[in-house]
Amino acid sequence: MRIQARWIVAGLLGATLVAGVLAGAAGAAEKEFLSVQGSTTVGPIADAFNEAFRRKHPDVAITVKKTGSGDGAKALVDGQCDVATMSRFMKEKEYQAAVEKGFLPVAHVVAMDGVSIIVHPSNPVKALTTEQVRTMYKGDITNWKDVGGVDQEVVLYSRDTSSGTYETVHKLVMDKEKMASGVEYVASNPDMHKHVSTTKAAIGYVGLGFVDEKVKALRIDGVMPSSRTIVSGKYPIARPLFMWTRGFPKLGSLIHAFVTFHLSEEGQEIIEAKGFIPVTNY
Amino acid sequence: MSQPPEGGNRSAPAASAGFDRPLLLTPREDLFGYVGSLTGRGVLFLIAASSVLAVFLIFVFITREAFLFFVQGETLGEMATFLWDRACEVFGSTAWHPEHGTAPEYGMLALIAGSFYVTFGSVLVAVPLGLLTAVCLSDIFPFGLRQVVKPVVELLAAIPSVAYGFFAVMVAKPWLQETFGIPSGANVLNASIILAVMAVPTIVSVSEDALTAVGRPLREASYALGATRAETLIRIVIPAAHNGIIAAVILGMMRAVGETMVVWMAAGNAPQIPHPWWDLTESVRTMTATIAQEMGETAHGSVHYHSLFTIGLILLVFTFILNTLTEVLLSRMKFRGAKS
């Protein structure tokens, strides 16, 4: 029995050694890597930046994951990504976790975005106040006829709580009050679009870039969400979009080029083409 | 291996069929063969042990992470009070707001209820469907038709669950809304129907095995007493196979309880208990969907993180009970089969 145990140990050690050598060989590639993770709202911008970069620097491999702002912050803190895309500022806890890991997160504002409150195109309601939207999400208004629509029960959609869009609505619309328990949660902007465009009595919210003819954006407090109303600060549910890095990136590095790409003409065109608002408005 | 082989043992095989090595090895006789056999046995043992070890470690890991959700405070009295309060909140409240900045709430009742709703909803649909299909396959269909139908039914299990979910959102949801005028088609009904379709292959193949295991003699005895085929099926075959059928139903339930992707997409994810309780057109959120949706955002070690592990533990305990029940029932079925 003792001899047997010794052989098992030896076998294990051998296997570990082989695995280590294999892993080392796989890691020795030549490409420069950059991993981007975070918000589903900022995701399309990062994707388009990635495409532009691939044309210019063919030896660069950029991966973009879109799983939510909270995931991005977590991955940045854990060292699993180089750039975290976020549609909200870092929370105190996240910042603190980063400081404990020994670095200061730096925010790069890449664009501005308005959260559009959307309904099904067949819905006759054209405008709501922030107050009315809040009351609906709290579950106190349950029928569209109470806000000037037809007699049908409101179906509420919200993004999941790891979403930066959710944070924005939670802060700017809900005033940090809890949503009703009947609210249905969906996992991404495209999901939200899909649900609202197929449900007649739905109300939901997406980033400005996701509004098209299949859903209808509402006037909020009398203001239509558009690039002009957002930049001028008239539209109430607007926010900056961020890319976060561990400290300020080294000048001339790939990370630096990526997070300052929005300042270039091409970057600004991409942001406008994706339906967001570039930060420099001449 | 207690007594070492001696001369007689060594010479016998060598004489018979060209064996030039002894059957039982000692290092002195054949060092290479001895080491080879030990290594082989050791590796196989490790492979077999790894899955057992994995189950055990998962259990320990989840329990430990969930345990921290219930522990806080300095003195024993404080800890006991906290544990009691937490347990009351978890099993007594339906308010699930784990990420709220100032007043987080961890009531899991609605999530547990959500899992129960979609599971039992799917069982209600899947059991009649699956059982009748199994009866058709074992007793009614001619051999040729059976050879076609059974693989097709089993093919249902091969469709990835995200494809079912896509179907639920894009086809079943609008259909429910337009045909029945339900405000939101992502609800208990939708998820139950899709889950039922997913559970049917499991139920069909296990209960068909059970029905076949009842055997020809019992059926022939029934016919000999003048019973019709319907009477034989309902009064003799199905009762005789009841252990296997119940096991099949439980296995189907386990498929439904553990399913994540479909309920995430089809059930609407609203953390509430339908009101009134029989209203299956309301949205619910299951335990699995909650974990899948929220695991990514939680900070490692936060209360929310541990609360998700508590949900995982509840799920684990539930499936563990169901699994044990199935094992017991299936072993009884085999026992009966062996006796007859």
* Residue-wise pLDDT tens digits, A235-247: 999 888 999 999 9
Residue A13 has pLDDT above 90, yes or no: no
Contact A71 B185 (CB under 8 A): no
End-to-end CA distance of chain A: 81
B61 three-state secondary structure: helix
Hunting for tokens 């009748």 — which residue is that? B132
Structural domains counted in chain B: 2
pLDDT tens per residue, range B286-318? 999 999 888 876 777 788 889 999 999 999 999
In a domain, B57, yes or no: no
Pick A4's closest partner by Cβ from B38, B297, B298: B38
Does A113-231 match A32-112+240-278 at the fold level? Answer: yes
| Domains of chain A, residue spans | 32-112+240-278, 113-231
Which residues of A fall within a CB distance of 8 Å from B270? Answer: 181-185
Residues B178 and B193 in one domain: yes
- The Cα A15–Cα B248 span in angstroms is 41
User: Residue B30 pLDDT more than 80?
Assistant: no
Position B120 scores a pLDDT of 92
Q: Are B212 and B138 in contact (CB under 8 A)?
A: yes
- Find the DSSP H helices in chain B: 7-17, 31-67, 76-92, 109-135, 143-155, 161-167, 173-180, 188-213, 216-224, 229-231, 238-240, 242-258, 261-266, 287-294, 303-339
Selection from A100, A64, A116 nearest residue A243 by Cα: A64
The answer as to CATH 3.20.20.100 being correct for domain A32-112+240-278 is no
Do B175 and B90 share a structural domain? no
What residues of B are in contact with residue A153 (Cβ under 8 Å)?
Answer: 183
Whether residue B238 sits in one domain with residue B103: no
Do B99 and B124 fall within a single domain? no
Q: Which tokens belong to A127?
A: 């405008």
Asked whether the beta carbons of B253 and B202 are under 8 A apart, the reply is no
Say whether pLDDT at B112 is over 80.
yes
Alpha-carbon distance B124 to B191, whole Å? Answer: 12
Chain B residues within 8 A (CB-CB) of chain A?
35, 38-39, 41-43, 45-46, 94-102, 110, 169-170, 173-174, 177, 183-186, 264, 268-272, 282-283, 285, 293-294, 296-300, 302
Candidates A2, A74, A120, A198, partner chain B, best to mutate (most B CBs within 10 A):
A198
Closest CA in chain A for residue B105: A178
Closest partner residue to A153 among B183, B270, B296, by Cβ?
Answer: B183
pLDDT at A29: 46
Which of A67, A184, A202 comes nearest B269 by C-beta? Answer: A184
The whole-number pLDDT of residue B24 equals: 65
Do the Cβ atoms of B270 and A202 come within 8 Å? Answer: no
Segments forming the whole domain that contains residue B91:
71-107
Same domain, B332 and B213: yes
The burial of A253, by beta-carbon neighbours within 10 Å (0-12 exposed, 13-18 middle, 19 or more buried), is given as middle
Residue of B297, B303, B308 for testing the chain A interface, max A β-carbons within 10 Å:
B297
The dihedral over CA atoms of B62, B64, B69, B70, expressed in degrees to the nearest 10, equals 130
Same domain? For B84 and B196 the reply is: no
Q: Is residue B80 part of a domain?
A: yes
Domain CATH code at residue B113 = 1.10.3720.10
Contacts with A152 from chain B: Cβ below 8 Å = 183
Instruction: Report chain A residues whose CB lies below 8 A from the CB of B94.
Output: 181
Note whether A11 contacts B39, CB cutoff 8 Å. yes
Residues B204 and B312 in one domain: yes
CA torsion sign for A68, A73, A75, A76 is positive
Task: Assess if residue B87 is contained within a domain.
Answer: yes
**Cis peptide leading into residue B276 (ω within 30°):** yes
In this predicted structure, the answer to whether residue A5 has a pLDDT above a threshold of 80 is no
Instruction: Say whether A202 and B184 touch across the interface (CB within 8 A).
Output: yes
Q: Measure Cα distances from B302 to A154, B99, B185, B309 in Å.
A: 35, 10, 35, 11
Q: Do A7 and B285 touch (CB under 8 A)?
A: no
B242 shares a domain with B99? no
- Asked if the C-beta of A84 comes within 8 angstroms of chain B's C-beta atoms, the answer is no
Same domain, B166 and B88: no
Using a CB-CB cut-off of 8 Å, the residues of chain B touching A7 are: 35, 38-39, 42
Determine the residue of chain B that is closest to A154 in CA distance. B183
Distance from CA of B223 to the nearest CA of A (A): 56
Is a pLDDT exceeding 70 seen at residue B74?
Answer: yes
Asked if the structure places residue B293 within a domain, the reply is yes
CB contact under 8 A, B296 and A74: yes
Q: Which residue out of B99, B169, B176 would a mutagenesis test of the A interface target, given it has the greatest number of A Cβ atoms within 10 Å? A: B99
Q: What count of CB pairs under 8 Å joins A to B?
A: 99
Instruction: Give dist(CA A175, CA A178) in Å, integer.
Output: 9
Residues B29-57, mean pLDDT to the nearest whole number: 89
* Helix intervals (H) in A28-68: 43-56
Q: What local confidence, expressed as pLDDT, does residue A99 receive?
A: 93
Mean pLDDT of chain B: 86
Q: Is the pLDDT of residue A31 over 90?
A: no
Which of the four CATH numbers 3.20.20.70, 1.10.760.10, 3.40.190.10, 3.10.129.10 does domain A113-231 have?
Answer: 3.40.190.10
- In this prediction the ipTM stands at 0.71
Same domain, residue pair B158 and B221: yes
Chain B residues near residue A162 by CB distance under 8 angstroms: 99, 293-294, 296-297
| CB–CB contact A68 B296 (8 Å) | yes
Backbone angles phi and psi of B129, in degrees to 5: -60, -50
CA distance B307 to chain A (A): 15
Closest residue in A to B294 (Cα) is A162
pTM of the model: 0.72
Q: Inter-chain contact B35–A178, Cβ cutoff 8 Å?
A: no
Confidence check: pLDDT of B80 > 70: yes
Report whether pLDDT(B265) > 90. Answer: no
Residue B21 domain flag: no
**Average pLDDT for residues B228-248, to the nearest whole number?**
91
Chain-chain contact of B299 with A7 (C-beta, under 8 angstroms): no
Identify the pLDDT of residue A113.
84
On whether residue B29 sits in a domain, the answer given is no
Residues B121 and B191 placed together within one structural domain of the fold: yes
Residue finishing a domain among B53, B86, B107:
B107
Does residue A267 sit at the B interface (CB-CB below 8 Å)?
no
